[in-house]
Each structure stands twice: as structure tokens, then as C-alpha cells.
Amino acid sequence: MTERLYHGDSYLVDFSARVFAREGDGSRLILDRTAFYPASGGQPCDFGTIEGVQVLNVEEDDEGRIVHSLSAPVAGDTVNCRVDWERRFDHMQQHSGQHLLSAVIVECCGIPTVSFHLGEEFSTIDIATGSLDARVVARIESRANQVIAENRAVTVEYRDPSDQADLRAPSSRQGTLRVVKMEDLDVSACGGTHVHATGEIGCLLVGRLDKMHGNVRIEFVCGSRAVRRARADYDALSRIARTLGTPMAATPDAVTAQQDRLKELEKACRRLAVELAKRRGRELYETAPVTASGLRVHENVIASGSLGDDVRAEAQSFTASPRAVYLAASRDPAAILLAVSADAGLQAGAVLKQALAAAGGRGGGSTGMAQGSVPGAEALDAALAAIRDVVNSVRLT
Ligand SMILES: [Zn+2]
């Protein structure tokens, strides 16, 4: 078993230790004692250096030994170690912040926390409720920051495992219980590293909420992370405000108004595209030569894209005139549209269906217009050829 110095003093950064064992090429060290926190209980491991060599990972093995993985082998029986304080203090802020947030949620709403995760960017807790109102979230956040300002003491004590009556959540841990207390607010069994007083958490900012397996997942950040997050949010918002040319406070309404206007414009744009397509359909009919079958035939084959409202409008407009056949196709995704005038001597639905069946495609439609898809470009060419044959076989008198 490795002696865990971080349990007694989470502010200990420099220490020396005896090498208890080496693994592999000597880049995995087990020390007699360590201030490096191994990943556990939702808190990631510490980084730092041992004899100036980078510590890449710290984990606890099955025998309760703490294994330090280094970027290179380290020699010597005694080693000088340094914990990366910036990373450690950040973890202390987030972890103490989590105890605070979980305790305040119990205080405000009586909802227990079921899990905690300290991530690279933000931390999360899952709380046992189906939903959480935004006003309640604001109240919880405000209360947490009030407790931070009160700078309440955070202390550690060791207890017999049977002594659990005042714990926020029961612990199933074997052996002596390590208990972290937040003055007049929280008592939790925890092996993590914590600040000495709530003031050191700095501040607590709640982020997004997500429903997750019947619980609500709350994203939060503390201390320097909260300041960085607020700075990034402010910069993003001020960029939006500048783009919109509105004061920052007016951006939500301005964005909603822009969104509404955009929807209206899109609608108008679609309407105009259909209008234009109708006009184009009439013009195409005027210039289309009359074939031997006595029909005016127009083909519109595009390389890619869907045969949408504008193509349909053009086809409809073209075939509103007598003795007209309009054939459109897209090569990717492979699709066909066939429209015929009422007097063309053809039924669009029947002709297309037959051509599609032979080419392994699917689709159908009415006597005037039909649409379908085929598995690929080769099948498309076969289906188009079959339709052209039928169209060319028409003889109108
Ligand atoms: Zn904890």
C-alpha cells in the first residue's frame, strides 16, 4: 500500500519518496508514499514530474498501490517529485464546488446527486429528478455563490464506517471513512482533494442541463474555469451583438426577429422559385421542336440534387400545354420525374412504373405526373432509355 500524502494535505506539491517497485523499463514507478492523486471517485489524476520526468498517468492497481506512469525511465532509490499545482488546484476547486452544488440542491429541493464527473472542460453531476426548472437552477447557483462568499471551512476527518448518520449519501466503503465537511452545510464520505474554505472555490457557474437516463445532468464550472467560460461567452455574445448592430442586452429579441424574417424570406424565395419555374416551363414549351411522334418533348437531366418543387412546377407548366412530355432526372441521387399532358397519348404513372420495374427502381404517380428512384446511374440510363422508347413510339395524328 502506498501512503497517500494528498489525503492529509491537498496543498502538498513538493515531496520526496522511496521507490518501492519499478515496472516495465522503469518508467512505471510505485513509491512508498505519494502526493499524486490517482484517478478515482470522478476526479482525474494529477500530473507533474518525478526527477524532472513528466508524469503521464497515475492510477491505483488492484493491490491498492499507486502506479505512476512516466514519459521516460527514472533511476535512483529516492526520487524528488512535484505535483502540477495549477491542475491540482483546478481539480480542488471543481471537486469542492461539486460537494457544494450537490449540498445546495439537497437544501433547496431535496434532490440527491447520483454521480459526478470532473471533465477537461466542465464538470457534471447527475441528480435524481426528471426535470429542473430554470428559475430553480438560478436560485441554486445564487445560493452556492453565497456560500462561497461566506468562506466556510472545509475540513477532513476520519471515522468508523458505522458512523454515517449525518452523511449526505451513505458510503459502502470498507475500513476507515474519510469524511469531508463543509461548515454547516455538507458532510460527505470522499477521498478527493479539497480546498480549505469555500472562498477558494472562487465562483460557481451552472451551464447546460440535459435529461439523462431519467436524471438531470447539470454542467458546471468553478474558479478560473468559470471566469474563462464567462469570458468566452461574453466574447461570443458581443460578436453577435456587433454583427446585429444591437446592444448586447437586446440580442435575444434581435436574433428571434431575424429568425422570423429569415423564415418569411425563405417562404417568399420558394414561392418565387416556383413562379419562375412555371414561367420557364411555358417558355421551354414555346421553343421545343415537335418530334416525329407529334409531341413536344423536353429533357432536363441534372448531375446531382433532388427533383424538388421547382422542377415539378416547371414540368406541370410545360405539360399544361397540349401534346407535351417533360422528362427530368438527377444522376445523384438517381431519380426520375415524368410529366405528360392529358392529350399526349401516354400515362405518366404507367410508363414510369414499367421503366422503374425493369431497372430495379421504385416509384409511381398519376396519369399526369410520376416520380421514382433507381439504385444508381446505370439503372437510371436504362430507365431513361425505356421511357424514351415509349415516348418515341407514340404517333399522334
Ligand atoms: Zn467528493
The answer to whether residue 136 is domain-embedded is yes
**Within a domain: residue 250?**
no
Q: How far is it, in rounded angstroms, from Cα 392 to Cα 321?
A: 19
Tell me how far the alpha carbon of residue 100 lies from the centroid of ligand 1, in angstroms: 10
Burial class (CB in 10 A: 0-12, 13-18, 19+), 390: middle
Nearest CA among 177, 184, 148, 149 for reference residue 163:
177
Average pLDDT, whole number, for the chain?
94
382 and 352 within one domain: yes
Q: Residue 259 domain-assigned?
A: no
Report the candidate in 155, 54, 21, 36 with the shortest Cα–Cα distance to residue 91. Answer: 36
| CA 242 to chain CA mean position, Å | 27
Q: Tally the domains of the chain.
A: 3
Backbone angles phi, psi at 203, to 5 degrees: -165, 165
Distance from Cα 229 to the centre of ligand 1, integer Å: 23
Q: Average pLDDT by consecutive 10-residue portion of the chain (397 residues)?
A: 93 97 93 95 94 96 92 95 98 97 96 94 96 96 98 96 88 90 96 97 97 96 96 95 94 94 95 92 94 93 91 95 96 95 95 93 94 93 95 89
What pLDDT is recorded for position 199?
98
- In a shared domain, residues 96 and 235: yes
Q: Are residues 288 and 322 in the same domain?
A: yes
Cα of 305 vs centre of ligand 1, distance in Å, is 55
Residues 111, 187 share a domain: yes
Tell me: do 215 and 97 sit in the same domain.
yes
Does residue 336 belong to any structural domain of this protein? Answer: yes
CA 98 to ligand 1 center in whole angstroms: 7
Q: How many CB atoms lie within 10 A of CB 300?
A: 17
Q: Which residues pair with residue 210 across a beta bridge?
A: 217
Q: Report if residue 264 sits inside a domain.
A: no
Ligand 1 mean position, distance from CA 5 (Å)? 17
> Could you list the residue range(s) of the whole structural domain that residue 279 is in?
271-392
Same domain, 99 and 221: yes
Count of beta carbons in the 10 Å neighbourhood of residue 265: 10
> Is residue 121 classed as helix, strand or coil in its secondary structure?
coil
Residue 205 alpha carbon to ligand 1 centre in Å = 18
Q: Which of 59, 83, 107 is the last residue of a domain?
A: 83
Does 105 lie in the same domain as 232?
yes
pLDDT of residue 175: 87
User: Which tens digit of pLDDT belongs to each residue from 362-378?
Assistant: 999 999 999 999 999 99
Would 247 be classed as within a structural domain?
Answer: no
**Cα 22 to ligand 1 centroid, rounded to whole Å:** 30
CATH of the domain at 388: 3.10.310.40
23 and 140 fall within a common domain: no
CATH number for the domain including 157? 3.30.980.10
- Is residue 226 in a domain? yes
User: Do 62 and 94 sit in the same domain of this protein?
Assistant: no
Does 217 fall in a domain?
A: yes
